[in-house]
Chain A
Amino acid sequence: MTETPFRSARPGRRDLLRATAGLALAGAATKLAAPAVHAQEPVTLRYLGTAVNQSAEIAAKAKQDLGITIEYIPVTTDDVIRRAVTQPNTFDLLDMEYFSVKRVLPSGNLQGIEARRIKLFDKITPVFTRGVTAGGKTLGEQGTAPKKVQFITGRGSKDLAPSPTEWMTLIPTTYNADTLGIRPDLIGRPIDSWAELLNPQFKGKASILNIPSIGIMDAAMVMEATGAYKYPDKGNMTRAEIDRTMAMLTEAKRAGQFRAFWSEFNESVNLMASGETVIQSMWSPAVTKVRSQGVQCIYQPLKEGYRAWATGFGMPRTLDGRKLDAAYEFINWFLSGWAGAFLNRQGYYSAVLETAQANMEPYEWAYWMEGKPAAQDIKAPDGSLLEKAGTVRDGGSYEDRMGRVACWNAVMDENTYLIRKWNEFIAS
């Protein structure tokens, strides 16, 4: 945690001197230009992302602290990518999933983020830079593990760098480990394996995501759990592996295993809360939401591990001038603690843990991050009750959850083939 490879290996004394000179120059320039800058209109950043990460509270606090207006453009995960690829000049800041990098980067619409302009770069959790937790546990690397797509070779480069460079694709905002949500009251026995998702006992009461690239990963977790097949890389299957996995899903679908597939946060909450399903792939805040309706729901840790995801800020190629500076300013502010604490209180994990901890109450930190029983009632950022005192977070501490990540949401090389097979599966 003390040193990242980037800092230890890369910049020598000369780089430092250069950077200092640059800073001095920049400082001088700012001083000279200062009166003009102050006379200018406040900056507005158009922030493209999914609604999940776009809280009004964060925008309000950024406005208050920085004077920067954040204008949210909420769209679905897929539309984030589509817009980034087709209309890069319609937004100033991009908040997208790490697996999308592989799809957006080739379009040339991302500009590298300069690591040295990120003040807390050193403090970003090594999950992103080296693929280990702060406690030293190594994360699974199958799929699009963030460290594989974290760095590129230059500002306008379309090539990923295998080891840390000065140019980053995304600055991490949130990440988490996903697993199955279950209704313990309706199941009535312990669940400890992904294989249970396709257990005929839950016929007509199971569900998965109708997002092909994620749905097939859950299916792959099931396949490995049943011992039928072990993938070299679940996140990048061969055609034969895709066929095999989809055949298993198709068979289950024909047998009536699935009640429905979901593609949107609230759908998953509804399915679970109404008892239409008793076991399904789910997101952490969705489980919390079901529980807040007074319905028992557990985000069940499973012995095969978690499927993880991560999102981060990217900058479109066209961003420059004051907006570029404002984007850096906003990102630096985002990592400085307030926003991190805000996200951690919803069950996500923030990129810089130390600053977030400084902005959380000790009991909150103990509950969300250390897996300890809540010393007092746990409240959502809006003040509503999430968990009563004494509750322990499902899956336990940060180390326990992130340390057991088996694979990451991914885009496969055989993506086109997968889409065709998925459409076939839905039509079967």
Chain B
Amino acid sequence: MMDGMARVSDTTGKDARAMRRGRGTAYWQAAPFALLFLVFFIVPLVLTVAVSFWRFDDYVLSPDLNLDAYREVFEGCIDKLPSLCVTFATYLSTLRFALMAWAATLVLGFGIAYFLAFHVRSVPVQMALFLLCTVPFWTSNIIRMVAWVPLLGRNGLVNQGLQAVGLTTGPLDWLLYSQFSVVLAFVHLYTLFMMVPIFNSMARIDRSLIEAARDAGASGWQTLWNVVIPLCKPGIVIGSIFVLTIVMGDFVTVGIMGGQQIASIGKVIQVQMSYLQFPIAAANAVVLLGIVLLMIWALTRLVDIRREL
């Protein structure tokens, strides 16, 4: 921006007009998406926030500002301490899943991206392997989820395999409908979202930097820690934002893989919605949004994405 201003002042009026016209074109080019964003994102969001403060009785939403919905959301949260109220317990559980999924996808995503970026030389092979990583998305969510039962179920392949080789004597129940299976499904689905931005960052690392590190006597691990990882930070942060925000709002995966026995904030909102308790659901959504925005803010504090990009 500053550069632009400086240049405008040096150049002739004709150029400045062209510049302004160019900027007008840019606005037009951005307009369709901005409009889409406004109508399908900003407006619903504003409505959600508004509804969370409304009164709702006998099927009539009345714009009568009050905090009842928030009071209902945090019912008993203060007086019950130190034992957790439903809302706190649910957020804690959702946060725990988010952190577990984040850690697992980060390690896996980084590893795969590293392999693809530094060990696979030919672009066609890279592309082929990339496509392979999208395999989990080739079927619908529901089919994918149902398919876990014959694999991890009590009489599933894994249990039969373990018993056949004599590692276990009876079926392991914790393979399915447990925290383990929820995290497994998250990792299976979302590693790609972590991997792609990291790969993107790695692909842009100047290879001569790595050679320079080696020439300067750095070991493999030292190069990784002091050269590759710092340069991958933007990718890691972007991937983390993807994974954390998706997992925080998820209720389908937690529901199906947790056997509907594990609470998630998304599920709470869904149940409230389906019973027409719109203000409470909206209040919950606003709280969730606030927490997710805080997480993103904290992440962007770690790395200035705009500068790095």
Chain A residues engaging chain B, CB cutoff 8 angstroms: 76, 78-79, 81-82, 85, 103, 106-108, 204, 210, 212, 253, 258-263, 266-267, 270, 274-276, 415-416, 419-420, 422-424, 426-427
Residues of B within 8 A of A204 (CB): 173
Q: In this complex, what residue of B is CB-closest to A271?
A: B149
Residues of A within 8 A of B155 (CB): 274-275
Q: In this complex, what residue of A is CB-closest to B176?
A: A276
Q: Knowing that A212-B275, A260-B177, A427-B90 are A-B contacts, what are 4 other residue pairs whose CB atoms are under 8 Å apart, sorted by A's residue number?
A: A106-B59, A210-B260, A259-B177, A267-B256
Residues of A within 8 A of B255 (CB): 210, 263
Q: Are B260 and A260 neighbours in the complex by a CB distance under 8 Å?
A: yes
Residues of A within 8 A of B274 (CB): 76, 78-79, 81-82
Q: Are A274 and B59 neighbours in the complex by a CB distance under 8 Å?
A: no
Q: Mark B255-280, 1 if CB is under 8 A from A, else 0.
A: 11001111100011001111111000
Q: Are A103 and B276 neighbours in the complex by a CB distance under 8 Å?
A: yes
Q: Are B75 and A420 neighbours in the complex by a CB distance under 8 Å?
A: yes
Residues of B within 8 A of A260 (CB): 177, 259-261
Nearest-neighbour CB distance to chain B for A352, whole angstroms, equals: 32
Q: Are B263 and A427 neighbours in the complex by a CB distance under 8 Å?
A: yes
How far apart sit A276 and B172, CA to CA, in the bound complex (Å)? 12
How far apart sit A267 and B258, CA to CA, in the bound complex (Å)? 13
Residues of A within 8 A of B292 (CB): none
Interface membership of B19, Cβ < 8 A: no
Within 8 A of A (CB), among B249-303: 255-256, 259-263, 267-268, 271-277
How far apart sit A141 and B91, CA to CA, in the bound complex (Å)? 40
How far apart sit A260 and B153, CA to CA, in the bound complex (Å)? 12
Q: Are B261 and A426 neighbours in the complex by a CB distance under 8 Å?
A: yes
How far apart sit A81 and B278, CA to CA, in the bound complex (Å)? 13
Q: In this complex, what residue of A is CB-closest to B89?
A: A427
Q: Can you list 12 A-B contacts (CB < 8 A)?
A: A79-B274, A106-B59, A212-B271, A261-B260, A262-B260, A274-B149, A275-B153, A276-B153, A423-B90, A427-B86, A427-B90, A427-B263
How far apart sit A103 and B275, CA to CA, in the bound complex (Å)? 9
Residues of B within 8 A of A259 (CB): 177, 259
How far apart sit A415 and B276, CA to CA, in the bound complex (Å)? 11
How far apart sit A38 and B154, CA to CA, in the bound complex (Å)? 62
Residues of A within 8 A of B173 (CB): 204
Residues of B within 8 A of A426 (CB): 260-263, 267
Q: Are B86 and A420 neighbours in the complex by a CB distance under 8 Å?
A: yes
A274-B153 contact given A266-B146, A415-B275, CB 8 Å threshold:
yes
Residues of B within 8 A of A76 (CB): 274
Q: Are B260 and A424 neighbours in the complex by a CB distance under 8 Å?
A: no
Residues of B within 8 A of A210 (CB): 255, 260
Chain B contributes a number of interface residues (CB within 8 A of A) equal to 34
- Across the A-B interface, the 8 shortest Cβ-Cβ residue pairs: A260-B259, A78-B274, A427-B263, A261-B260, A107-B59, A210-B260, A424-B86, A260-B177
Nearest-neighbour CB distance to chain B for A127, whole angstroms, equals: 27
Q: In this complex, what residue of B is CB-closest to A103?
A: B276
Query: Which of B89, B90, B268, B277 interacts with A416 by CB under 8 Å?
Result: B277
Q: In this complex, what residue of B is CB-closest to A109?
A: B59
Nearest-neighbour CB distance to chain B for A290, whole angstroms, equals: 14
Q: Mark B62-77, 1 if CB is under 8 A from A, else 0.
A: 0000000000100100
Interface membership of B58, Cβ < 8 A: yes
Nearest-neighbour CB distance to chain B for A279, whole angstroms, equals: 14
Q: Are A106 and B58 neighbours in the complex by a CB distance under 8 Å?
A: yes
How far apart sit A276 and B176, CA to CA, in the bound complex (Å)? 10
Residues of A within 8 A of B75 (CB): 420
Residues of B within 8 A of A103 (CB): 276
Nearest-neighbour CB distance to chain B for A130, whole angstroms, equals: 30
How far apart sit A17 and B255, CA to CA, in the bound complex (Å)? 59
Within 8 A of A (CB), among B209-268: 255-256, 259-263, 267-268
Q: Are B90 and A276 neighbours in the complex by a CB distance under 8 Å?
A: no
Residues of B within 8 A of A263 (CB): 255, 260
Q: Are A423 and B176 neighbours in the complex by a CB distance under 8 Å?
A: no
- B156, B261, B272: which has the most chain A beta carbons within 10 Å? B261
Q: Are A276 and B154 neighbours in the complex by a CB distance under 8 Å?
A: yes
Interface membership of B150, Cβ < 8 A: yes
Residues of A within 8 A of B154 (CB): 274-276
Residues of A within 8 A of B272 (CB): 419, 423
- B59, B263, B267, B268: which has the most chain A beta carbons within 10 Å? B59
- A79, A263, A274: which has the most chain B beta carbons within 10 Å? A274
Nearest-neighbour CB distance to chain B for A82, whole angstroms, equals: 6
Q: Are A419 and B261 neighbours in the complex by a CB distance under 8 Å?
A: no
Q: Are A253 and B261 neighbours in the complex by a CB distance under 8 Å?
A: yes
- B90, B176, B177, B262: which has the most chain A beta carbons within 10 Å? B177
Q: In this complex, what residue of A is CB-closest to B272?
A: A419
Residues of A within 8 A of B260 (CB): 210, 260-263, 426
Q: Are A78 and B177 neighbours in the complex by a CB distance under 8 Å?
A: no
Q: Are B153 and A419 neighbours in the complex by a CB distance under 8 Å?
A: no
A276-B149 contact given A420-B86, A424-B86, CB 8 Å threshold:
yes
Nearest-neighbour CB distance to chain A for B281, whole angstroms, equals: 10
Nearest-neighbour CB distance to chain B for A101, whole angstroms, equals: 13
Q: Are B271 and A419 neighbours in the complex by a CB distance under 8 Å?
A: yes
Residues of B within 8 A of A416 (CB): 275, 277
Q: In this complex, what residue of B is CB-closest to A253?
A: B261
How far apart sit A392 and B36, CA to CA, in the bound complex (Å)? 59
Q: Are A419 and B275 neighbours in the complex by a CB distance under 8 Å?
A: yes
Nearest-neighbour CB distance to chain A for B264, whole angstroms, equals: 9
